Amino acid sequence: MKETDAAYIAGLFDGEGSVTYKKYRERKKKGNNVKYYDCWRIVMEIAMTDQSVLIWLTEVLGCGTLRKKPRKNGHKMQWRWRCGFRDAYYVACLLFPYSHTKLDKIQKIIDHYSDKTKDNVVDLEHYKLWIGK
């Protein structure tokens, strides 16, 4: 990616974007067995009325999804680009050198995936045993 594209996307994201970096409790139920897990919600998104900019953004970044946002009465059609988890980490690393207003949240995403002492990955074998496969 060109440096000017990364800088432009960082500015666009600073103005129009949002970051969700939140830990929450998720309830999983199988039969009579109920377990609670700590889960992370890591999402980066931009919502705007100019679809062409978001199409370009999706093509340049090579990740994320672009969808129509539900329209409210009297408002223009909005489009939403969003990516999550490891794609959000990839985008956060690209935008980090150029970001200003969202820098603290972008830093949290980078730290989340860079910190090797955290348990960021579900053990697949443990999960398979739990669901009975």
The Cβ of residue 26 has, within 10 Å, a number of other Cβ atoms equal to 11
pLDDT digits over 94-128, tens only?
999 999 999 999 999 999 988 755 554 555 665 56
Q: What angle do CA 60, 62, 66 make, to 5 degrees?
A: 90
The residue ranking higher by pLDDT, 73 or 62, is: 62
The predicted structure's pLDDT at residue 29: 81
46 within 8 A of 81, measured Cβ to Cβ: yes
- The distance of Cα 8 from the centroid of its chain, to the nearest Å, equals 19
With a cut of 70, say whether residue 7 has pLDDT above it. Answer: yes
Strand ranges, E, within the chain: 17-30, 33-48, 65-69, 78-84
Q: Which residue has the higher pLDDT, 132 or 47?
A: 47
> How many percent of the chain have pLDDT more than 90?
63
Percent of the chain with pLDDT over 70: 86
Domain span at residue 58 reads 3-131
Cα dihedral sign, 48-53-56-61: negative
Neighbours of 14 (CB within 10 A): 16
Strand order in the sheet with 33-48: 17-30, 33-48, 78-84, 65-69
Q: Could you tell me the CATH number of the domain that includes residue 110?
A: 3.10.28.10
Number of domains in the chain: 1
